Chains A and B, each alone.
Chain A
Amino acid sequence: MNSIIKIEDLHFSYDSDGGKEVHDEVLKGIDLTIEEGEFVAVLGHNGSGKSTLAKHLNAILLPTKGKVTVDGIDTADEGRLFDLRRRAGMVFQNPDNQIVSSIVEEDVAFALENLGVPYEEMRRRVDEALRSVNMYEYRLHSPAQLSGGQKQRVAIAGIIAMQPKCIILDEPTAMLDPSGRKEVMATVKRMNREQGITVVLITHYMDEAAQSGRVVVIDKGRLIMDGKPEKVFAQVDRMKEIGLDVPQVTELAWELNKAGYDISPEIITEDQCVDALLRLIG
């Protein structure tokens, strides 16, 4: 497997007032390597630095110290900025503030128009992208007529149309209702599974992180946990200490385990929990 994202000793601080006042570091030395095709969830509470980290993967922010490379491109290499952004697309939190056009299909085409893709190919890629997020029948609608979940799927289609290797989603479901969240998660998972696109999902919803292949926990600008979701969530007291939730099933198993019963806390799905409980109560 190839590493697609390499973050080495990443430090970052916002310096306002023209550099007179140096603020506290938001990121305090992060090392992280992500392989092609992975689905990584980055968990952390508000202000932990997880969104700042995401903005480094797309050169919206550049490291104060350290280095970030995406698909072999150093994000600090200004000459290859568009090349980088084409390979690592970004979806933001507020669905309203990232849709440019009043017509769905034209919004999906926006990046391709900017990149100067010829018409025939653009038409084909836009249609494919819309189909892959199940929004093809809405292609001539105005975004104002869509639900939050549908708008986010349009935003995702706009990225897929660029045929990126990697997609970074910065809290894409924070403003959505439960059904919108499910739509977006299903779309992201399918994209990862079927098209092999590497996914970096920034979130504070543990149920979303539980669906990923790898969870990275950021707290106070440092990477403090990294592993399979069941291993990370099983550390219930540590997660709670930094203000994060764990799935209810994990919490239940952990409580029973703590009370001395033979049940592993490494449980993250309902079915795993039901099986384990049936085994326990016999």
Chain B
Amino acid sequence: MLRDITIGQYFPGNSLIHRLDPRFKIVITVLYIIMLFAGGTYTGLAIGAAYALIAIALSKIKPKMFVKSIKPIMPFLLITALINLLLVSSGEILWQWKFLKITDAGINISVFMIIRIVLLIAGTSLLTYTTSPITLTDAIERLLSPLKKLKFPVHELAMMMSIALRFIPTLIEETDKIMSAQKARGAEIDTGSFITRARNLVSILVPLFISSFRRADELATAMECRCYNGGAGRTRLRQLKSAPRDYAALFVTAAFLAGVIIIGRIWS
């Protein structure tokens, strides 16, 4: 059943991480990513890992969920690691077959890269796990608002995002219904040859498109009737207020980043 799929990766909660201002959370996540790439050493990575582990512990989200977030990119990760492993030619050669060779530097780079990407995914997952998509959209809109001066349609993009988020469950339910209805007329959707299935897909996509257009049209009218006129002069019910804890979190993150950079300098 399609409706069994959980949409978005948000796990509601009331931890310190959940309560942080989403704007700060985005900025902090960016600093964290810089931290992972600024430290070219294992010590740097270890500091990043320690930072991530503390944040995960504070979020009270089951560590299992972070393992789950890494799973889908595992194949991609292994292939890149393998390419690095086999094609890096510097360092001491440990094994060789024709143009493929494994060197100690190759092993080093592969392992380093795997750890870095795992940390990257875990950290960004923490952002989406603890922030609802709609809050995230809102925070992005506010962070990007200076770009409005450059005629960049910040409000419009955010509105589109939030409407998309609003209609995802509706459209999933609708797809489910149309699929059942066509199956009841003998359409083979999860069985049958590839060609039959492709042809039968039309019987689902056409009604889905038509109904989406109808919905979009009706929604546009309803929005106009409620005086929607673009972003100019709008006020907001959702107030984002930064608290001392937000600055504290930002300060701690900046300290970790500085640590990583300084240690990196000393090493080289």
In Å, the complex CA distance between A116 and B221 comes to: 20
The chain A residue sitting closest to B221, CB to CB, is A60
Contacts of A86 in B (CB 8 A): 227
Q: Which of A9-17, A40-48, A104-112, A244-252 is near enough to bind chain B?
A: A104-112
A247 to B222, CA, bound (A): 32
Task: Check A110/B228 contact, CB under 8 A, given A117-B235, A126-B237, A144-B169.
Answer: yes
- Number of interface residues, chain A, beta carbon within 8 A: 39
CB distance from A140 to the nearest CB of B (A): 10
The residues in B between 139 and 193 inclusive whose CB is less than 8 angstroms from any CB of A are 162-163, 165-166, 169-170
**How many whole Å from B178's CB to the nearest CB in chain A?**
15
Shortest CB distance B37–A (Å): 34
Query: Whose C-beta in chain B lies nearest to the C-beta of A108?
Result: B237
Which chain A residue lies CB-closest to B238? Answer: A106
B213 CB to nearest A CB, Å: 11
Cβ of A100 < 8 Å from any Cβ of B? yes
Output the least CB separation between B100 and chain A (Å).
51
Please, how many angstroms separate the alpha-carbon atoms of A85 and B225 in the complex?
6
In the complex, A90 Cα to B221 Cα: how many Å?
Answer: 10
A101 is an interface residue with CB less than 8 A from chain B: yes
Which residues of the other chain, B, contact A97 by a CB distance below 8 angstroms? 214-215, 218-219, 222
Q: A114-B228, A116-B235, A123-B237 are contacts. A92–B170 as well, Cβ < 8 Å?
A: no
Given contacts A92-B218, A102-B165, A106-B238, contact A116 B228 (CB under 8 A): no
**Across the interface, which residues of A come within 8 angstroms of B162, CB to CB?**
100-102
* Chain A residues closer than 8 Å to B96, beta-carbon distance: none
A residues 99-143 touching B (CB-CB < 8 Å) = 99-103, 105-106, 109-119, 122-123, 126, 142-143
Q: Is A173 an interface residue (CB 8 A)?
A: no
Nearest B residue to A159, CB-CB: B226
Cβ of B234 within 8 Å of any chain A Cβ, yes or no, is yes
Contact among B134, B228, B235 with A122 in the assembled complex (CB-CB below 8 Å) = B235
Name the residue in A89, A105, A122, A144 with the highest tally of chain B Cβ atoms < 10 Å from its Cβ: A144
Q: Hey, what's the 0/1 contact readout for B70-103 against A, CB within 8 Å counting as 1?
A: 0000000000000000000000000000000000
A101 touches B134 (CB 8 A): yes
Nearest CB of chain A from residue B72's CB, rounded to whole Å: 25
B214 nearest CB neighbor, chain A only: A97
* B223 within 8 A of partner (CB): yes
B268 at the interface (CB under 8 A from A): no
Residues of B within 8 A of A111 (CB): 226-227
Q: Are A113 and B237 neighbours in the complex by a CB distance under 8 Å?
A: yes
A82 at interface, CB cutoff 8 A: yes
The docked-state distance in angstroms from the alpha carbon of A117 to that of B235 is: 6
**B239: Cβ under 8 A from any A Cβ:** yes
When A105-B237, A123-B237 are in contact, do A158 and B226 touch as well, CB less than 8 Å?
Answer: yes
Asked if A98 and B218 sit within 8 Å, CB to CB, the answer is: yes
Residue A35 is within 8 A (CB to CB) of chain B in the complex: no
Whether B225 pairs with A100 at a CB distance below 8 angstroms is no
A159–B237 Cα distance when bound, in Å, is 16
Nearest chain B CB to A55 CB, angstrom units: 9
Contacts of B236 in A (CB 8 A): 113, 119
CB-based contact B227/A114 at 8 Å: yes
Which residues of A have CB within 8 Å of B244? none
A134 vs chain B, min Cβ distance (A): 20
The winner among A89, A101, A105, A113 for most chain B CB atoms within 10 A is A113
A60–B228 CA distance with the chains assembled, in angstroms: 13
Q: What's the Cα separation between A133 and B94 when bound, in Å? A: 75
Residues of B within 8 A of A58 (CB): 225
A96 at the interface (CB under 8 A from B): yes
Which residues does chain B contribute within 8 Å of A101, judged by CB atoms? 134, 162, 166
7 contacts between A and B (CB under 8 A): A92-B218, A99-B166, A100-B219, A101-B166, A116-B233, A116-B234, A144-B169
Residues of B near any A CB (own CB < 8 A) = 133-134, 162-163, 165-166, 169-170, 214-215, 218-219, 221-229, 233-239
Question: 14 new A-B pairs (CB below 8 Å) besides A100-B222, A101-B162, A123-B237?
Answer: A60-B225, A85-B224, A86-B227, A92-B222, A97-B219, A100-B163, A110-B226, A110-B228, A114-B234, A118-B235, A119-B235, A126-B237, A143-B166, A158-B226
Nearest 10 A-B pairs (CB), nearest first? A98-B222, A109-B237, A111-B226, A97-B218, A144-B169, A114-B227, A116-B233, A90-B225, A102-B166, A82-B227
